[in-house]
């Protein structure tokens, strides 16, 4: 059973991890970065959805109870997404609950690749990427082939005069045949999508001009980086900075510095970007606290916070736990007591 509730405008919200809203008797949703399409018929909701993040698809059916709790009555046991040219990505589980990721081409040779317990995977049109602790693998799904494996041992970094392995933090996106990846030690790398050659390796602390071993350098952390393919830039709210990387010139600029005094300026922890939207939606603090008491909206053209709420400032043990989710009408964000806090969008 998942806990749902309706507000007075007949919008439906799911406290367990997302926000839904009903329009013209259809159920539309945006949950954890996933785009959902659904329809409601009598007391049955059929949800057919896919994820922007990984490109996988699943069919679920829910029965709507009188108290607006939804009881799941049917669910496919695997995620499936057909790309094109008879290539399919399939996610299932074995008897030990290990995740099995298969890249399949139905042309006589069935499985192109099978991966057990991948750390992560993403789909960018017909380019599919998966990774674990040791390597990243890229597939060209239109051709149904694996193009390359990139071993992270090529990126060994010296930290305090000791060699340290590098791992993927997030796969950012593809721009002009370059796959951009955020890795540990605050670095961004760019790989040729055709052969896996390491084309670019950028040290963010150095490129942003942070003095080595300074307080700013020590405190600077990067968790969420977003790619804007229309403008050809990578952008991020990280710590006290909003910065952009021009992917054509490879020049990084700090567009906004919130200031040195953390008790009087913003410190951003997590942020969310939606393609085509000029805003970034974030959680953080502007009162010198170490946990995320506030949620806000940052305009990447005005370079300023245009809206925020800080309802948790007086609650020492309460904080926001994940990036905000938005649709055309509302913004929702989860707190540490599993409450979904919903705000009207102007």
Phi, psi of 216 (to 5 degrees): -65, -40
Phi, psi of 56 (to 5 degrees): -100, 155
| Sign, CA torsion 252/255/260/262 | negative
**What does the pLDDT look like over 294-317, one tens digit per residue?**
999 999 999 999 999 888 766 777
The predicted structure's pLDDT at residue 20:
44
Mean pLDDT of the region 241-260: 94
Is the predicted pLDDT of residue 50 greater than 50, yes or no? no
The secondary structure element, H or E, covering residue 164 is strand 162-164
Mean pLDDT of the region 191-200: 96
Pairwise pLDDT comparison (186 vs 46), residue with the higher score: 186
Most confident of 11-15, 63-67, 84-88, 121-125: 121-125
Could you give the percent of the chain with pLDDT greater than 90?
A: 28
The predicted structure's pLDDT at residue 27:
42
Query: Cβ(278)–Cβ(286) under 8 Å?
Result: no
Q: How do strand 178-183 and strand 168-175 relate by DSSP bridges? A: antiparallel
| Residue carrying the six token digits 């367990």 | 16
Pairwise pLDDT comparison (59 vs 309), residue with the higher score: 309
Which are the contacts of 148, defined by CB distance < 8 A and separation ≥ 6?
137, 138, 195, 196
Bridge partners (DSSP) listed for residue 128 = 123, 139
Is the predicted pLDDT of residue 244 greater than 80, yes or no? yes
Global confidence as pTM: 0.74
Query: Cβ(247)–Cβ(233) under 8 Å?
Result: yes
Phi, psi of 211 (to 5 degrees): -65, 130
Is the predicted pLDDT of residue 329 greater than 80, yes or no? no
CA 2 distance to own-chain centroid: 23
Residue 320 per-residue DSSP state: B
Vertex 254: Cα angle to 252 and 257 (nearest 5)? 165
The predicted structure's pLDDT at residue 341:
78
Residue 144 per-residue DSSP state: T
CA 22 distance to own-chain centroid: 24
Query: Cβ(208)–Cβ(202) under 8 Å?
Result: no
Is the predicted pLDDT of residue 1 greater than 50, yes or no? no
Which are the contacts of 156, defined by CB distance < 8 A and separation ≥ 6?
163, 164, 165, 166
CA distance 325 to 32: 7
| Residue carrying the six token digits 């020049």 | 251
């Amino acid at each position: 059973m998942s806990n749902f509730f309706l507000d007075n405008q007949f919008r439906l919200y799911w406290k367990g991890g997302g926000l839904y809203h009903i329009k013209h008797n259809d159920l539309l949703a945006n949950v954890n970065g996933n785009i959902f399409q659904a329809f409601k018929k009598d007391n049955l909701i059929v949800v057919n959805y896919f994820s922007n993040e990984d490109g996988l698809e699943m069919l679920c059916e829910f029965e709507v109870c009188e108290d607006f709790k939804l009881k799941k009555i049917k669910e496919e046991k695997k995620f499936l997404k057909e790309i094109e040219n008879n290539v399919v990505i399939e996610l299932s589980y074995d008897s030990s609950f290990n995740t099995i990721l298969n890249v399949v081409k139905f042309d006589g040779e069935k499985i192109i690749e099978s991966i057990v317990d991948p750390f992560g995977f993403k789909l960018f049109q017909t380019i599919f990427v998966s990774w674990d602790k040791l390597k990243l693998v890229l597939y060209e799904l239109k051709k149904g082939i694996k193009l390359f494996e990139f071993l992270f041992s090529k990126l060994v970094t010296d930290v305090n005069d000791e060699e340290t392995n590098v791992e993927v933090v997030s796969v950012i996106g593809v721009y002009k045949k370059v796959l951009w990846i955020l890795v540990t030690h605050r670095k961004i790398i760019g790989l040729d999508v055709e052969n896996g050659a390491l084309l670019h390796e950028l040290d963010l602390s150095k490129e942003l001009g942070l003095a080595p071993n300074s307080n700013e350098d020590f405190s600077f952390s990067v968790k969420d980086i977003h790619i804007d393919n229309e403008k050809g830039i990578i952008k991020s709210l990280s710590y006290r900075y909003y910065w952009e990387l021009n992917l054509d010139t490879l020049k990084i600029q700090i567009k906004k510095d919130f200031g040195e005094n953390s008790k009087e300026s913003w410190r951003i922890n997590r942020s969310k970007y939606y393609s085509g939207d000029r805003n970034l939606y974030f959680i953080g603090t502007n009162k010198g606290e170490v946990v995320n008491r506030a949620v806000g909206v940052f305009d990447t053209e005005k370079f300023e916070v245009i809206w925020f709420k800080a309802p948790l400032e007086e609650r020492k043990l309460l904080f926001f736990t994940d990036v905000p989710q938005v649709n055309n009408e509302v913004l929702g964000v989860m707190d540490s007591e599993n409450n979904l806090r919903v705000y009207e969008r102007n």
